Structure 1
Amino acid sequence: MSQATHHDAKRRPDWAALVIAAALAVVAVVIAWSTASHGTGASYARVGPTTMPYVIAVAFGGLSIWTAFEAFRGEFPEREHQELSPILWIVGGLAAQMLLLKVAGFSIATGLLFAATVRAFGRGPLWKTIPIGIALSFVIWIIFARGLQLSLPAGLLEHLF
């Protein structure tokens, strides 16, 4: 009886993998639909600007079918337990950067993202990593905004220089 129960448990589909397969299928359909809805320009060759998006859509469709097939076979390896705290630190850092980018500028917003990511990896206290992140981000801002003449959001710190 225990072998039958073990066999039934092994034959159940992996629902997480099926969700991933469905997401891959949606991406494939969206790419194909978006490519088809854009008009093709005048093309003198068989391989034009719409070829690569269709290739990518077919690749995503193939990955979707393969993932669904493997999910029904139930032979995915056992997944490790995921810690929620590091994910929340990184997502929170990204949210803070997006919200503060225009208000506080590139250096401060990206410095906070740096500090949150460092915290997610379990390194250094925030009082130390926030100034380090802001300093590194400011150096990056100088290189890109001043050296390469690219437009990055400037805030209080950037306006000082």
Structure 2
Amino acid sequence: MITFGSKPVTLEGTPIKTGDTFPSFKALDADFNEVEPMSKSGKTIVLAVPSIDTPVCSLELGKFLHFMNGKPEVRVISVSQDLPFALARWNRDHENDRIETLSNFHLEDFSTKTGTKMKENGLLCRAAFVVDENGKIIYDEYVSEVANEPDYVALLEAAGLQ
């Protein structure tokens, strides 16, 4: 069960799990370009966050900027319902050149294929996935309380970074 502010929420779309092939999806980047990030191969961490403008989401992505410093062998993608304007501002303010920040707001392809959209508020839940070089999910976590951070130790261990 997933909660938002201790209240249960309903996730829309199709949940994915370890062992599944991570679905190809389309989203908008911070410049409003439609991209298909999973068309690139390589080990990838995919993060679903409610909004980059909230303290927990910004903290989470800031930690990944730190974790991934000097580790170009693993890509990090963050997807939220934010408008590309907010993503561009966060990227600029945090000197982000490492995390691919993407918006699900227009196409909603990511949330449909990963079961991450909360019906009650239209935001994405907090989730984390590690995808291997062959596109298989080797770690999945739908964080039980959206206000909490993911299990960084388990996530980084699955990605081979611990």
| Between structures 1 and 2, the one with greater strand share | 2
Same fold by TM-score greater than 0.5: no
Greater C-alpha Rg = 1
Highest RCO, 1 vs 2 (Cα 8 Å, sep ≥ 6): 2
| Between structures 1 and 2, the one with greater helix share | 1
